[in-house]
Amino acid sequence: MNNLTEYQNSGKRVGLISILSILTLGTISPVIAAEVQMSPTSKLICRQPHPDLTKVAISPKVVQSVVGDLATVILADERFKILGMILQSIGLLDALKQGDFTIFAPTDEALAKLPQQILDAILKSKNLNQFTELLEYHVIPGKVMSTELKSGELKTLEGDAVTIKTNNHKIQVGNATVIDSDIPASNGVIHIIDQVLILPQ
């Protein structure tokens, strides 16, 4: 994870161009990570667990098998179809399976609102460094829950700092607002934002 930018080849670039060209299309088969539906009559459901169960320590391996890593959670969430496709195309999805990270994840709707000039610049780029750095700017090393976010700056995986502002339970991250928070993963947490973060000039 020292350098996440070594994922450049023509095949991946073509894949990314196709994705960005049809931002409102495309599907990914969701990976079912945590939701299991069972019959109401099933004897396997414990509807009122014994209070002592809350005292049982849960191993990280059990958490990972139920919740999944960051990559699995992103692919399983219908709000991140485009984000998952882009991360997969440029090779960053596998990187999110290791280490602890906090992701400020833009929804498909947020990605669709990217200014046309930014999309054009990405599409005409001869390499993927620009877009890789943009996505790395959405990732913070370590797991930071929403209650731990304080007004100030946090250094991103891209290297620059992003400004955090908190006021009356509202969390502002750079130019974006957190609209859903603390989505758990076995190796970190995801906070959903309503806009794509803009890299500092």
The residues, ordered by sequence, that sit 6+ positions from 190 with a Cβ below 8 Å of its Cβ are 70, 73, 74, 102, 103, 105, 183
Distance CA 197, CA 124 (A): 20
Q: Is pLDDT of 173 > 90? A: yes
23-28 own/partner pairs: CB under 8 Å, 24+ apart: 23/82, 23/108, 23/111, 23/112, 23/114, 24/108, 24/112, 26/81, 26/82, 26/85, 27/81, 28/75, 28/81, 28/84, 28/85
CB 155 within 8 Å of CB 137 = no
> Is 199 domain-assigned?
no
Distance CA 77, CA 80 (A): 6
pLDDT score recorded for residue 114 = 79
> Is 122 domain-assigned?
yes
> Is 47 domain-assigned?
no
pLDDT digits (tens, 9 = 90+) for 54-84: 455 544 444 444 579 999 999 999 999 888 8
> Is 105 domain-assigned?
yes
pLDDT score recorded for residue 192 = 97
> Is 51 domain-assigned?
no
Of 87-91, 124-128, 138-142, 168-172, minimum mean pLDDT range:
124-128
Q: Which residue has the tokens 């700056």?
A: 153
pLDDT score recorded for residue 60 = 46
Mean pLDDT for 160-187 is 95
pLDDT score recorded for residue 137 = 95
Percent of the chain's residues with pLDDT above 70: 62
For residue 90, name the pLDDT band (cuts at 50, 70, 90): confident
> Is 40 domain-assigned?
no
The DSSP element (H or E) to which 173 belongs, if any, is: strand 170-173
CB 132 within 8 Å of CB 90 = yes
90: domain range? 10-35+59-193
pLDDT digits (tens, 9 = 90+) for 112-153: 887 777 666 655 655 577 788 889 999 999 999 999 999 999
Domain CATH number, residue 88: 2.30.180.10
Distance CA 119, CA 123 (A): 6
> Is 48 domain-assigned?
no
Mean pLDDT for 4-11 is 45
pLDDT score recorded for residue 120 = 63
> Is 1 domain-assigned?
no
For residue 88, name the pLDDT band (cuts at 50, 70, 90): confident
Q: Is pLDDT of 89 > 60? A: yes
pLDDT score recorded for residue 2 = 45
Say how many domains are in the chain.
1
Mean pLDDT for 95-99 is 88
pLDDT score recorded for residue 176 = 96
